[in-house]
Structure 1
Amino acid sequence: MFFKNDCLIELLSPYLRSLKAFKIRKLAALFYKKLPLLHHPCNKDEERYLNKVASYSKALPHNNLGEVNLDAYNKYLKALKTGIPHDFEKIPLSGLRKLVNPQAAYAFELVGPDSHQLIIPPPPSFDSAEMASEMVELFWQALTRDVPFNEYDTNDLTITAAKELSALIDFRGPKIGGKVTPETLFRENLPGALAGPYISQFLWKDIPYVGTKITQRYQTTLPKDDHLTSYEAWLAVQNGLMPTTPCPNKLDPIPRYIRNGRDLCRYVYNDWSVEDGLTPCLILLSFGSEAWDSNNPYLRSNTQVGFSTFGAPHVLDFVTRAARSALEAAWFQKWLVHRRIRPEEFGGQIENVLANNANYPIHPQVLKSDALALTYDIYKSYLLPQAYAEGCPAHPSYPAGHAAFIGAIVTILKAFFNESFKIPNPVVASSDGLSLECYTGPDLTVGGELNKLAYNIALGRDAAGVHFRSDGITGLHLGEAVAIGILRDYNATYNEQFKGFCFTKFDGTPITI
């Protein structure tokens, strides 16, 4: 059977084609409709503390202790409970800072799971040892921002940080033999991610781009460019005030390869989302067909190559589209479930407790930590030094948005590419960030370096002082769940004989979709 112009063979009549397309979409929708209705657990801190000291409130009006005005907080809650756009316009803000996109929590997606159908565990409670241990880690990350990653094993600060974190109750970072070491410091134990340098090869190697190459030397800030270490500045940003100069951070005039925590902080300040997927995808595509996953149906074809399906446009589309869906899932959890405070806010509460201005139930292991004492010696306050002049973004902490979108991006890349493929000609940045040197350690694989990229982007936000460890790690798993749903829904749309997407999840579990 032919179309009227006799130029294309028609496999299905227009009616049958539309019916099949409808069936594919209907079955995907029914899959999610039949899922059990879920309860979203939270840590109950918002109910437990009537002054909302454990809940996110930046940009609303606060008293001199940084405690939110309860009338304003209740109007903010009303808008979140009703979801009525007009109610959001009634939230009483205190300064120029605006809340970031709370209505994204209500958005729907047409592919993959609905954001409200994904469950994450509650964050650590305000008074817990885990919360305190996460804060101790953040103080150490702030104190070591200028230490090159390749000097962690010899620097006194990073050695001391590893020692203190090893002794903490309920610290959940990676350990070797039960201890945090300079090799595991500020990392996460994702499959293969502890091998080799701290920074992923995908943040160092040149990027092939439209017939040229982009060198990954980025604008960074000067050493010791830390902010919000005075109480007056801290309180001002809680009340929504913005820095008074166009670029209050002190920028380094020389672009550098990412070589320390400060450089990484700046990188995850300037990225939006999809760049973190586009960059590794273009690098992976430059490795050739051997880097594709073995289930790619065109690796076995004698007459065809992939393009719109199972080729570069396919993976480039998926790796970027997954980012927004993951952000929507994170925004639902942030605004409608948890409303967890930011580390910046928690630092102010520590300051008020130790200044005897308030009596909050903060676990003593952060109040008595070496990291906090050293912070006071340097800055004469107990506030958490921020890498960004304006401090954290104007949305709740848990889970981290960067972690959610990089979790989805990395999951898509692992599904399309061969995780065991060895990275050719691996490199490591020099201590000054001006050059790349040859890396000579154990082999680095695509899977391990993608997982490393995931924790680089997620925990890079921790290094800036704007997120807790659990924000990032939970966000990675949430983004992974979003990506798995997208891959599953599209699996019914292909004509090729395809065995499915196979990869290793962040928890080490192999999966086939």
Structure 2
Amino acid sequence: MTRFRPNPSPPSATATRTHSALMLSSGGVDTGRGQTNGSWSAAQIKAATSLHSSDDDILLAAFGTYTKGLGHDPYGRVRAGDLKQLITALTTRHAGFNVPLYSGGFLRPSGSHEARRQESPLATPAPLTRPGDDGLGATGPTAAPQMPASPELGSDELTAEMGELYAAALLRDIPFERWATCRITARLTEQLADLPYFQHAKGPAAAKRRLARGDLDPAHLFNGCTPGDRVGPYISQFLLVGNREYAALDALDTEDGPKAARAAPSQDALSRAARYVPAPIRKLLRTQEDCIQPNDGVIRYGVQMISQRFAGHLDGCDHMTEWATWLDVQNGSNRKDAYDRFRDTARFITTPRDLATYVHFDTLFQAYQNAALILLGAEEPTDQGLPEGRGHPTRDGAATFGAAHILSMLAEVGHLALTSAQSQKFAPPLTARPEALAAGIALSQTGGSAAESLGSEQPLFARMSRDLTESGLLSAICQLNRTNNRFWSAQYGTVDLGPLHEDSNALLPQVYPEGSPMHPGHGSAHATVAGACVTVLKAFFEMYQLPAGTPERGRPILTGAEPLHPAAYFSDERMLSGEGAMLPHPYTPDPEYDYTRLTAAKDSADLTVQGELNKLASNISFGRCFAGVERYSEHYESLRQGERIAVDFLRRKLMDGQSAASVRFASFDGDHVAITCQPPTMGSRATAKTRVHVWDRHGKGGTEAAYDAWRDRHR
């Protein structure tokens, strides 16, 4: 792969050819109107690889296209031949994936030659099945739900999304609980509100995502993607609290002779141990009570413990704020280990940087496993339509409908969601990451030869740069980068802004030294997994308060003799906090103890289980936006893609059970969803038959047609 000279010179007319030479669109590979289908068509392959070999050395300004890991010239342009080689490898799908790593060496650190590799570029999603309705359990493959097209380069929506990421970078070290009264948050909220998109969103998809954000409110900035986002503290209780510890009596060794030990908190092996925190740690965490409480933030995992505290990335330490580092990262420099900096002490999630740290290192379904362990340890009931579990006179849940079942399902559906998201990332369009879009904005803002290097993309970036400048966001981010670069100047001995200057340095500060992952945008794997796993949690556990006289267990909510959408089964939601609930009140990190303890949240309404699970999905998803590696539309759409993957998954799981069963929950759009399973009659060759019923907020729907419309709502 070509090594470019380190110092930029004015681009020639030949070198300013843009990615239109490869028939790429402003948002990536041109797929025509509509959403992508997750695969390359013959026409797209021919268009993308049709350059004559003599054109391979043309430099393309492809800042709207994912080119990370390829070689880039000093202006950030990529060789046409290198991009063509990447597309050829993606479309031939040969296991060798013949795309050489960048071998030109890197400046930061000097002399480094370790390049990163593309991450799962040939991932193929596992086929989903949708059970038939012929009573014989006929099934057929169905494509995984797809995302709609990304906002176009130069559009008001993409400009607003970049504005949100700039604002998020400026707020990274301000505790969430201070946002409501913070002058910086208030100013940034006003600056975002000045952007055209927030005043009048154009197009149905853009308008839908604008409506989801609600009013721009400093206390809830970037929130509103799911029901429950804006109720209570910014961070979900499932990312803060833990389980209660119990002091069990010894039935065999007492002064008064044998006596019955206190009932264990659960019959499941994962959570029935009364004590699970070693005594020295118990004393360290709590001084007034002997037993660990939920606000100690320790999760029970059998006889082991999981702490909700961790050491986050170091406050004020942002990366890729100078051009030389940005260029190294685009060329694939592996900076993961050399430049990570962390706080000295562990604390609860307090700031956006803390949340970004969590989603930097989390395993696939970590947050959702923790949520399940919290609910299991608190003996929260499972959905009353499941055939086993608490309340059944003779059957308890274990391999089916017990702790082992829910934890294994989270891993399974999480992997389905991950492969689905990953496969569409490397399909058309190859959407650029925010770090590349910000570089295009910075080049346009600089003017002169820097702007000329953008070729035909220049008018699009100029429009974005103009709106962001008028809002005041670009001057604020330039000042932040100037401050960051004082630190990096001390580290490197110099700062290299390349074609930029200090007053045009609109590079997007990154929490992660390596910037984005080595795969394109157009969807968020974190958000897709979050949507899928939280949907499974909402279906498995009881989300609603059952009316008096309702059987606790084993009664599917819909049979042929009952009316559709019985309001009693979608009544008031179960409470997570308040009188008689799992928590006495919501909690937030306590500033008086350097955020290492939890305290009762001030002026907070009581929270529901379903709302806090929704908030958990939203927090994990938008945590990647706080890091600077993903955008709001990816966060919003991927949550809903994951939700639909989970519904197909749950439909299959209920059918495999061969028992009358049902689950129900509210969707991320507020619809009521019920999945029901009817077993075959004894001796029949047929298998179980499942259906999905969806009703809108007004109770309309409940048919298969309504479900199909819901499934395709966000395509």
Within-5 A mapping of 1:48-127: 51-86=61-96, 88-91=97-100, 93-94=102-103, 96-104=115-123, 106-109=124-127, 116-127=143-154
2:588 to 415, 422, 428: 428
Q: 1:184-221 CA distances to partner (integer Å, 9 max, x unpaired)? A: 20213311221001100110012111124432101212
Q: Contact 2:125–2:416 at 8 Å: present in 1 too?
A: no
CA distance in 2: counterparts of 1:353 and 1:264, whole angstroms: 32
Q: 1:153-173 CA distances to partner (integer Å, 9 max, x unpaired)? A: 111111112222223222445
Q: Contact 1:278–1:319 at 8 Å: present in 2 too?
A: yes
Q: More displaced, 184-193 or 319-328?
A: 184-193
Q: How many residues align?
A: 469
Within-5 A mapping of 1:273-312: 273-288=364-379, 290-298=380-388, 299-312=390-403
Cα 1:354–1:110, aligned 2, differ >3 Å: closer, same or farther? closer
CA distance in 2: counterparts of 1:61 and 1:129, whole angstroms: 30
2:36 to 34, 40, 49: 40
Cα 1:318–1:41, aligned 2, differ >3 Å: closer, same or farther? closer
Q: Contact 2:60–2:79 at 8 Å: present in 1 too?
A: no
Cα 1:401–1:175, aligned 2, differ >3 Å: closer, same or farther? closer
In the other structure, the counterpart of 1:463 is 626
Within-5 A mapping of 1:388-467: 388-419=512-543, 420-423=573-576, 424-425=582-583, 426-431=586-591, 432-439=594-601, 441-467=604-630
Q: 1:475-500 CA distances to partner (integer Å, 9 max, x unpaired)? A: 111111111111011221224331x1
CA distance in 2: counterparts of 1:253 and 1:115, whole angstroms: 49
Q: 3-state SS of the aligned residue for 2:364? A: coil
Within-5 A mapping of 1:340-419: 340-356=431-447, 357-358=450-451, 359=454, 360=458, 361-362=460-461, 363=464, 364-379=466-481, 380=502, 381-419=505-543
CA distance in 2: counterparts of 1:258 and 1:281, whole angstroms: 19
Q: 1:98-125 CA distances to partner (integer Å, 9 max, x unpaired)? A: 1111111x34347679684422100101
For the pair 1:267 / 2:267, whether they are aligned, the reply is no
Give the superposition deviation at 1:68. 1.7
Cα 1:388–1:55, aligned 2, differ >3 Å: closer, same or farther? same
In the other structure, the counterpart of 1:236 is 328
Q: 1:450-508 CA distances to partner (integer Å, 9 max, x unpaired)? A: 1101111110000000011111111111111111111011221224331x121111111
Q: Which amino acid aligns with 1:476?
A: L
For the pair 1:216 / 2:226, whether they are aligned, the reply is no
Which protein has the bigger helix share? 1
CA distance in 1: counterparts of 2:391 and 2:188, whole angstroms: 51
Q: 3-state SS of the aligned residue for 1:187? A: coil
CA distance in 2: counterparts of 1:191 and 1:224, whole angstroms: 32
Q: 1:256-313 CA distances to partner (integer Å, 9 max, x unpaired)? A: 100000100111001021212211010111221x432222223452111111111111
Q: Which amino acid aligns with 1:493?
A: D
Q: Which amino acid aligns with 1:231?
A: W
Q: Contact 1:259–1:430 at 8 Å: present in 2 too?
A: no
In the other structure, the counterpart of 2:669 is 507
Q: Which amino acid aligns with 1:355?
A: T
Q: More displaced, 53-62 or 141-150?
A: 53-62
Larger radius of gyration: 2
CA distance in 1: counterparts of 2:142 and 2:404, whole angstroms: 26
Cα 1:351–1:59, aligned 2, differ >3 Å: closer, same or farther? same
Q: Which amino acid aligns with 1:296?
A: L
2:176 to 149, 158, 171: 149
Cα 1:335–1:158, aligned 2, differ >3 Å: closer, same or farther? same
Q: Which amino acid aligns with 1:348?
A: A
In the other structure, the counterpart of 2:108 is none
Give the superposition deviation at 1:135. 0.2
CA distance in 1: counterparts of 2:596 and 2:623, whole angstroms: 20
In the other structure, the counterpart of 2:237 is 201
Cα 1:159–1:114, aligned 2, differ >3 Å: closer, same or farther? farther
Question: Scaled by the length of structure 2, what TM-score is found?
Answer: 0.62
Q: 1:55-88 CA distances to partner (integer Å, 9 max, x unpaired)? A: 11111011122122110001111111121223x1
For the pair 1:158 / 2:185, whether they are aligned, the reply is yes
Q: Contact 1:79–1:91 at 8 Å: present in 2 too?
A: no
CA distance in 2: counterparts of 1:367 and 1:82, whole angstroms: 43
C-alpha RMSD of matched pairs (Å) = 2.5
Q: 1:138-162 CA distances to partner (integer Å, 9 max, x unpaired)? A: 0010011000000001111111122
For the pair 1:321 / 2:340, whether they are aligned, the reply is no
For the pair 1:184 / 2:220, whether they are aligned, the reply is yes
Give the superposition deviation at 1:421. 2.2
CA distance in 2: counterparts of 1:309 and 1:386, whole angstroms: 44
CA distance in 2: counterparts of 1:108 and 1:483, whole angstroms: 13
Q: Contact 1:60–1:94 at 8 Å: present in 2 too?
A: no
Q: 3-state SS of the aligned residue for 1:437? A: strand
Cα 1:174–1:282, aligned 2, differ >3 Å: closer, same or farther? farther
CA distance in 2: counterparts of 1:280 and 1:114, whole angstroms: 32
For the pair 1:337 / 2:428, whether they are aligned, the reply is yes
Q: More displaced, 209-218 or 138-147?
A: 209-218
Q: Contact 2:175–2:350 at 8 Å: present in 1 too?
A: yes
Q: Contact 1:64–1:235 at 8 Å: present in 2 too?
A: yes
CA distance in 2: counterparts of 1:174 and 1:421, whole angstroms: 27
CA distance in 1: counterparts of 2:149 and 2:218, whole angstroms: 29
In the other structure, the counterpart of 1:3 is none
Cα 1:239–1:189, aligned 2, differ >3 Å: closer, same or farther? closer
Q: 3-state SS of the aligned residue for 2:605? A: coil
Q: More displaced, 182-191 or 73-82?
A: 182-191
CA distance in 1: counterparts of 2:60 and 2:648, whole angstroms: 38
Q: 3-state SS of the aligned residue for 2:588? A: strand
Quick one: higher RCO (CA 8 Å, sep 6+), 1 or 2? 1
Q: 3-state SS of the aligned residue for 2:181? A: coil
Cα 1:99–1:146, aligned 2, differ >3 Å: closer, same or farther? same
Cα 1:39–1:391, aligned 2, differ >3 Å: closer, same or farther? closer
